[in-house]
Amino acid sequence: MEPWSGGNWQYLLHDTQGNEWAFHGVYHSIVVPLQTIYTYEWEGQPGHVSLETVTFEHHETGTKVTSTSVFQSIEDRDAMLVSEMQADGDQKMERLAKLLADLQPPGI
């Protein structure tokens, strides 16, 4: 991860059966602590790049995170929706919510 405007990112996912998936992109804009804009590409399907915008809004009860994906075509969007990527993304957000909840001091 090179978390600055123009920086690159890449990560690998592994499952218990030894399968591997690689993803990468470029950070286009980072406005700390409000917004991050970056590209997202699965290396298993090169050339199908989406533009991701993540915004962070402060609220009295916590932070609202909004993630928006823009695809190059309707076909690319539909392919993502029927893949396991949406479920994987939902699981990641659930794990993040649990981690953040575990970081809260008692009584909050």
At 60-83, the pLDDT tens digits run 988 899 999 999 999 988 887 776
Q: How confident is the model at residue 9 (pLDDT cuts 50, 70, 90)?
A: very high
User: Could you tell me which of 15, 26, 38 has the C-alpha nearest to residue 84?
Assistant: 15
What are φ and ψ of residue 2, in 5° steps?
A: -125, 80
Report angle CA 63, 64, 67 to the nearest 5 degrees. 130
Residue 34 and residue 56: Cα distance in Å, rounded?
5
In this predicted structure, the answer to whether residue 85 has a pLDDT above a threshold of 70 is no
CATH annotation of 8-103: 3.30.530.20
In this predicted structure, the answer to whether residue 52 has a pLDDT above a threshold of 90 is yes
In this predicted structure, the answer to whether residue 107 has a pLDDT above a threshold of 70 is no
